[in-house]
Amino acid sequence: MAHSCVIALTGKGGVGKTSLSAAILRILTEEKPEAKILAIDADPAVGLSVALGVEVRETLDDIRLRVARDVTEGLSETQDILAEARFRLFEAMQEQRGFAFLAIGRPEAAGCYCAINTYLRQVISLLTDEFDYVVIDGEAGIEQINRRVMEKVTHLLCVSDQSRKGIQIIATINEVANTLVAADQVGAVLNRVLLPERVTESEIGGVPLLAVIPPDPAHAENDIEGRSVFDLPPDSVLLSGARTILQRMNIL
């Protein structure tokens, strides 16, 4: 690939972004076995690790705090911050079957995620040159879009259910992203739709509709039993939906 493909999933909370992120990652590892693939759990709820079956040892916020502490205590020169942060970043990445994994973590201070979002933006910029594909499970809402965390994204995927609120959030994300994100493509997905055959729209919230995914019993059973997306049968509804999305975004 000439340039990295950076796929970010965003939308209202509780619509299945994390499950879909994991499914997209599995499809990429199967279809692109020679590619360098990175999964970033950018949602403070820290769900992607569970969906992928990864045990998190160190997070992005752990690295940020450690580097900041070393600088404050005079253990590192300011000019060495980037080199040290980069080294620790790759050290913290967990190599899995066909991909690497990095989690943002939960900042110690409650409420504001400003510092970690700023750091995450720099990390994404740094890592896009190191990987062929980057899949980012973004936090709910538009905060990471507003803070330009996703400015390096090439494919922005807006996920919603059929609720009015979910679709309104997609419209808002699209409006903000048009100004702040230089994505090659923005697409929408309706997830967990009970009657997909009744969906006739070609776009949602002003965004082209790429896929309508019904509930997946196999995935629900997986969740209950604590298994990862890699345990799903190849013909599962969720995986089929993820494959459709990647095909319609011209990634496969």
What pLDDT is attached to residue 117? 73
The three-state secondary structure class of 20 is: helix
Q: Give the model confidence (pLDDT) of 213-245 as tens digits.
A: 999 999 999 989 999 999 999 999 999 999 999
Instruction: Output 131 or 61, whichever has higher pLDDT.
Output: 131
What pLDDT is attached to residue 16? 94
What pLDDT is attached to residue 78? 54
Which of 35-49, 63-77, 119-133, 147-161 has the least mean pLDDT?
63-77
What pLDDT is attached to residue 92? 81
Confidence grade of residue 7 (pLDDT, cut at 50, 70, 90): very high
The mean predicted confidence, pLDDT, of the chain is 87
Share of the chain above pLDDT 90, in %: 58
What pLDDT is attached to residue 1? 46
Q: Give the model confidence (pLDDT) of 62-116 as tens digits.
A: 887 877 776 676 655 555 666 777 777 888 889 998 999 999 887 555 545 566 6
**Dmax over Cα atoms in the chain, in whole Å?**
63
pLDDT at 181 exceeding the cut of 90: no
Q: For the chain, what are the domain ranges?
A: 5-248
> Sheet harboring 207-213: ordered strands across?
94-95, 100-103, 37-41, 133-137, 5-11, 155-160, 185-191, 207-213, 203-204
What pLDDT is attached to residue 107? 57
H or E element: which one contains 102? strand 100-103
Q: Residues 6 or more apart from 219 whose CB is under 8 A from it?
A: 19, 229, 232, 236, 237, 238
Q: Which CATH class is domain 5-248?
A: alpha beta
Q: Give the model confidence (pLDDT) of 137-154 as tens digits.
A: 998 888 888 777 788 899
